[in-house]
C-alpha cells in the first residue's frame, strides 16, 4: 500500500480551530458497515446505537503542559521541547525544534524554576533531556509549560481544560484522545443508566499516534511505542460484556489500539501494562473492538489507516468525501464519527 492511497482533499476552512460551545454539540456521522449506509446527526444520538450489555471503553490519559519554550543559556537561542514520555524521574524523551541546534550538553532555561539539559539523541530524532527544578514537578510544569495543541490549530485555546476529556485522570500524554472530548458527565451518566458498562483503560498519547508517515510505502513506517495499561477489573468487564452478547465500543483510536494490544487471538482482553507499537492498517483482523467512535483524521495519517482497516479504505474515503460535502468540522476540535 502506498501512503498516497490515504490522501484526500480538505478545504482549510473545515479544520476546526476552536472547540464547540458545548462538548456534546458536535455533529455525528454514523457509518453502518453491514448496511453500507451513512447517517448524519448530532453526538448525543450515540445513545440510540448503544444497547444494554454493551461496553464503552475510554482512555483516561491526561494531557500534560508538555510544550516548553526555552532559551539557551550561553547563546540566547530559542528552542521548543515537546515532552513525549518520561524515562526516569527527571529524564524525558522529547521532540526538539529546531532539532539540529539541540546539541548534547546544551542547557536551556524554560522558566526561573525550570531548566532542560540535552543528554543525547534518542530514536526518531528525539532528544533525551534532563529537567532541572526544585519542588513538585507537576506544579512546576503547570506553571512553565503550555498545552501542546497540534500545529494545524493556530488560535490560542481560551480554556486549557477543553483539550482534556472530562474523565482524564493519569498525567502523561502529549496530545488528547480527541474522540473523548465530546462526552459530558451527563451523557456518560445516561449511558450507564442504559445498562452499558463504562470501562477505563490507559494509553499515553505520544509520537506513535501523531507522527506523520514519511515513508512512501505504508509497510515501511515504524510506530513509536506508547505506554498502556489494562487493569484486571477493566479486562473482566470487557470480557464479561462480550461473553454476554454485548458489543465493545471503543472511544477513539487510542482505546482501540490499547484493546487490540491486550487481546489474544480469540478476542479475550488480558490485564497488563507495557509498551505498544501496534500499527493497524487495512487487512488487520480486529479482535476486541466491535464499534469505533472517532474524529476525522489527517490525510495520509496512521489514524486514517486504522479507521480504513476497521471498514475499508474505499468506504472511509467515501465517508470523508461526504463529510467534506456536508461541511463537517475536522481534526482535534472537530466533529465525530461512529463506525458500526
Instruction: Give the CATH number, domain containing residue 335.
Output: 3.40.1780.10
Q: For the whole model, what pTM was predicted?
A: 0.94
**pLDDT digits 0-9 by tens, 174-225:** 999 999 999 999 999 999 999 999 999 999 998 777 788 989 999 999 898 8
Highest mean pLDDT among 37-51, 96-110, 208-222: 37-51
Per-residue pLDDT at 208 = 73
113 and 164 share one domain: no
73, part of any domain: yes
Is residue 10 located within the same domain as residue 115? no
- Calculate the CA dihedral of residues 158, 159, 164, 170 and round it to 10 degrees: 130
Question: Which whole number is the average pLDDT over 22-47?
Answer: 97
User: For the chain, what is the mean pLDDT?
Assistant: 95
Residue 284 has pLDDT above 80, yes or no: yes
Residue 253 lies in a domain: yes
- Flag whether 152 is in a domain: no
Q: Which of 112, 144, 176 is the last residue of a domain?
A: 144
Range of the domain at 250: 3-63+159-339
For range 152-160, the mean pLDDT: 88
Task: Give me the number of domains the chain comprises.
Answer: 2
CATH of the domain at 118: 2.40.10.240
Answer yes or no: is pLDDT of 95 > 90.
yes
Q: How confident is the model at residue 287 (pLDDT cuts 50, 70, 90)?
A: very high
Amino acid at each position: 500500500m502506498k501512503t498516497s492511497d490515504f490522501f484526500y482533499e480538505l478545504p482549510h476552512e473545515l479544520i476546526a480551530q476552536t472547540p464547540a460551545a458545548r462538548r456534546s454539540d458536535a455533529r455525528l456521522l454514523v457509518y453502518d458497515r453491514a448496511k453500507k449506509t451513512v447517517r448524519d446527526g448530532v453526538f448525543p444520538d450515540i445513545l440510540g446505537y448503544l444497547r444494554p450489555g454493551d461496553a464503552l471503553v475510554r482512555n483516561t490519559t491526561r494531557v500534560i503542559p508538555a510544550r516548553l519554550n526555552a532559551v539557551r543559556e550561553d547563546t540566547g537561542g530559542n528552542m521548543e521541547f515537546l515532552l513525549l514520555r518520561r524515562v526516569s524521574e527527571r529524564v524525558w524523551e522529547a521532540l526538539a525544534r529546531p532539532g539540529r541546534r539541540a546539541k548534547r550538553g546544551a542547557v536551556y532555561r524554560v522558566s526561573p524554576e525550570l531548566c532542560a539539559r540535552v543528554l543525547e539523541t534518542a530514536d526518531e530524532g528525539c532528544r533525551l533531556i534532563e529537567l532541572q527544578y526544585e519542588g513538585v514537578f507537576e506544579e512546576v510544569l503547570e506553571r512553565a509549560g503550555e498545552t501542546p495543541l497540534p500545529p494545524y490549530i493556530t488560535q490560542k485555546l481560551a480554556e486549557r481544560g477543553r483539550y482534556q476529556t472530562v474523565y482524564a485522570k493519569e498525567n502523561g500524554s502529549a496530545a488528547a484522545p480527541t474522540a473523548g472530548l465530546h462526552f459530558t458527565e451527563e451523557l456518560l451518566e445516561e449511558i450507564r443508566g442504559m445498562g452499558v458498562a463504562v470501562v477505563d483503560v490507559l494509553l499515553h498519547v505520544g509520537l506513535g499516534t501523531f507522527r506523520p508517515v514519511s515513508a512512501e510505502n505504508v509497510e515501511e513506517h515504524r510506530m513509536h511505542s506508547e505506554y498502556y495499561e489494562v487493569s484486571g477489573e477493566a479486562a473482566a468487564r470487557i470480557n464479561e460484556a462480550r461473553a454476554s452478547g454485548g458489543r465493545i465500543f471503543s472511544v477513539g483510536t487510542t482505546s482501540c489500539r490499547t484493546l487490540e494490544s491486550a487481546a489474544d487471538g480469540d478476542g479475550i482482553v488480558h490485564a497488563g501494562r507495557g509498551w505498544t507499537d501496534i500499527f493497524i492498517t487495512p487487512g488487520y483482523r480486529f479482535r476486541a473492538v466491535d464499534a469505533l467512535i472517532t474524529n476525522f483524521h489527517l490525510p495520509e495519517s496512521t489514524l486514517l489507516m486504522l479507521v480504513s482497516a476497521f471498514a475499508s479504505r474505499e468506504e472511509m474515503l467515501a465517508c470523508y468525501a461526504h463529510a467534506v460535502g456536508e461541511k463537517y468540522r475536522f481534526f482535534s476540535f472537530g466533529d465525530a464519527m461512529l463506525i458500526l
